[in-house]
Amino acid sequence: MELDLGCCSPMVREPLSAKQAARLAGAFKALGDPVRLRLLSLIASHAGGEACVCDLTGEFDVSQPTISHHLKVLREAGLLTSQRRATWVYYRVQPGGLAVLAQLLAAPVAEPVRAAG
């Protein structure tokens, strides 16, 4: 999944279409779990920008299969990529995945926004 949204103007400028909303909601839902958020930030801030599962499981109170499940959710949401090297599987943040979401949340809400049209 690529999180291609047609494009990416802030959602406070004009109403999202139902289709865009469905797509985006999937990505945000993936972020809507504390374990997954921490996984993401652990991976992103890890040396080299990548981490193997063995680097991650020790950080949580949940089982290895649960970690594996969450990684899969993040991968299918277009937020992570994985690569097997020898015995280990390395995850890294998908370039641009978070950026698309950040841009959509970017909000000039300080000033009144007029109706699109």
Partner DNA sequence: CAGAAAGATAGATGACTGTCAACATAGACA
Partner DNA sequence: TGTCTATGTTGACAGTCATCTATCTTTCTG
Strand partners, 81: 92
Smallest gap from residue 108 Cβ to DNA (A): 25
Name the residues that contact DNA, by CB under 7 A: 29, 32-33, 35, 52-54, 57, 61-73, 82, 84, 86-89
Specify the stretch interacting with a second copy by CB under 8 A; choose among 7-15, 63-71, 82-90: 7-15
Rounded Cα gap, residues 59 and 23, in angstroms: 30
Rounded Cα gap, residues 65 and 55, in angstroms: 14
> Which of a second copy, DNA, none binds 73 (CB below 5-8 Å, type-dependent)?
DNA
Angstrom distances, CA of residue 69 to CA of 8, 33, 41, 50, 116: 29, 12, 17, 18, 40
> Which of a second copy, DNA, none binds 7 (CB below 5-8 Å, type-dependent)?
none
